[in-house]
């Protein structure tokens, strides 16, 4: 009986020592992962030539270098694709001005009301944002994007 107790004790000590050997050190704790944002493309044709399916922009928000667009559209059973374009307004006034155009390609015959948050990367406008800012027009919204030099 004493041999079995000694064997079980040694076995437990062996598990204790060898299990500590398998731990990993974390080098970057509490790292914040930024969500992937879509790119904004240049649109060179007249603004009224952009064909889109119907959607509604409920609200917009901006944080750091990301534009959040909250939209509502009908669908639910097909493929949808949102694309954001910018069209510079060539004026000699400061700050720079750009119209943003949002396009929905919707091959979806369903009528369910869908709400979605779209994210777009504003970093392509950083040079203008540092030199006085950029004013954007998106549907009924107008907002300014600036970066302060610190």
Within 13 Å of residue 24, how many CA atoms lie on the same side as its CB? 4
Full-model pTM: 0.73
* Among 27-31, 45-49, 134-138, the least confident range: 27-31
Span 1-45, pLDDT tens digits:
778 777 667 766 666 666 555 555 545 555 555 668 999 999 999
Q: Does residue 68 carry a pLDDT above 90?
A: yes
In order of start, what are the domains of the chain with their CATH numbers? 40-145 (2.60.40.2370)
For residue 145, give every residue at least 6 positions away whose Cβ sits within 8 Å of its Cβ, in sequence order, or none.
Answer: 62, 122, 125, 129, 133, 134, 136
Q: Is 58 helix (H, G, I), strand (E, B) or coil?
A: strand
């Amino acid at each position: 009986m004493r041999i079995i107790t000694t064997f079980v004790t040694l076995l437990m000590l062996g598990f204790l020592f060898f299990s500590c050997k398998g731990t990993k050190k974390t080098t970057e704790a509490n790292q914040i992962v930024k969500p992937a944002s879509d790119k904004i493309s240049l649109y060179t044709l007249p603004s009224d030539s952009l064909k889109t399916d119907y959607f509604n922009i409920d609200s917009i928000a901006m944080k750091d270098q990301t534009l959040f667009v909250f939209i509502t559209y009908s669908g639910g059973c097909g493929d949808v694709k949102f694309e954001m374009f910018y069209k510079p307004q060539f004026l000699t006034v400061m700050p720079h001005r750009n119209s943003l155009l949002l396009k929905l390609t919707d091959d979806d015959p369903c009528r369910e009301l869908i709400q979605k948050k779209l994210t777009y990367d504003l970093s392509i406008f950083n040079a203008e944002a540092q030199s006085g800012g950029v004013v954007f027009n998106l549907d009924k919204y107008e907002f300014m994007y600036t970066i302060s030099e610190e």
